[in-house]
Amino acid sequence: MNMEIATVNSLPYEDFVNIFGNVVEKCPIITAAVWSRRPFVNMGALEAAISEFIDALPESGKEGILRCHPDLAGRDLHSGTLTRESQEEQARAGMDGLDSTEASHMARLNDEYKVRFGFPFVICARMNNKATILQQLSERLRNERALERALGIEEVKKICRLRLQGLVLIDAPNKL
């Protein structure tokens, strides 16, 4: 059951961090920081506060966010150590159903990407599927590092928006 924004605004920081701490993967500090910005007029304002916090980080901090993300179809998926959110998102995009050729192709490209950039390939799995993910990964491997860092962060924000939409009502219902 999604929460109304008034309920979100009334949460003590501990509950707020428990509920929203993973809207940016493994970065509860971001959620914990924007609690200082409440009250939020709507979900979009909460999302904007998170985006602004991320944008204000030094480039190393943005790379830090990317490095907190698991590989797509990587060892965390196979060992069952993904966060609940990542597990659902990767499964929906078909990452748990790759055949052996697809899996080794994905693993090779992921490794190339990490060696080239020093952070993992991040893409919003729920807005993609197996084919578009492999295509994007191949194409983005050819980018410059600064562009790739920026594109990765844009994907982080898309993932964040969809996770927030699963938790907060987009519009407050009319009062009867």
> Rounded to the nearest 10 degrees, what angle do helices 100-117 and 145-165 cross at?
120
Instruction: Give the residue with the Cβ less far from a copy of itself, 65 or 137.
Output: 65
Binder of a copy of itself out of 9, 28, 44, 102 (CB under 8 A): 28
Q: Minimal distance in Å, beta carbon 126 to a copy of itself?
A: 22
Q: What angle do CA 133, 45, 169 make, to 5 degrees?
A: 75
Q: Could you say whether residue 58 binds a copy of itself (CB under 8 A)?
A: yes
> What's the CA angle centered on 69, arms 84 and 34, to 5 degrees?
80
* Candidates 29-37, 86-94, 121-129, 137-145; binding stretch for a copy of itself (CB under 8 A): 29-37
CA distance 33 to 134: 35
Q: Which two tokens stand for residue 88?
A: 């659902």
3-class SS shares of the chain: helix, strand, coil, % to 5 = 65, 0, 35
Nearest residue (CB) to a copy of itself, 67 versus 108: 67
Q: Is 146 in the site for a copy of itself (CB under 8 A)?
A: no
Q: Which stretch binds a copy of itself (CB under 8 A): 95-103, 112-120, 127-135, 139-147?
A: 112-120
The torsion angles phi and psi of 162, rounded to 5 degrees, stand at -65, -35
Q: Does 36 bind a copy of itself (CB under 8 A)?
A: yes
- Which residue among 69, 140, 149, 163 is the active-site one? 69
At 94 the three-state DSSP class reads coil
Give catalytic status of residue 78 as yes or no.
no
The token duo for 173 is: 């219902």
Site string (115-134) toward a copy of itself, x via CB under 8 A: ---xx---------------
Residue 123 contacts residue 40 (beta carbons within 8 Å): no
What are the residues binding a copy of itself (CB under 8 A)?
12-14, 17, 26-37, 53, 56, 58-61, 63-68, 114, 118-119
Q: Which residues are catalytic?
A: 69
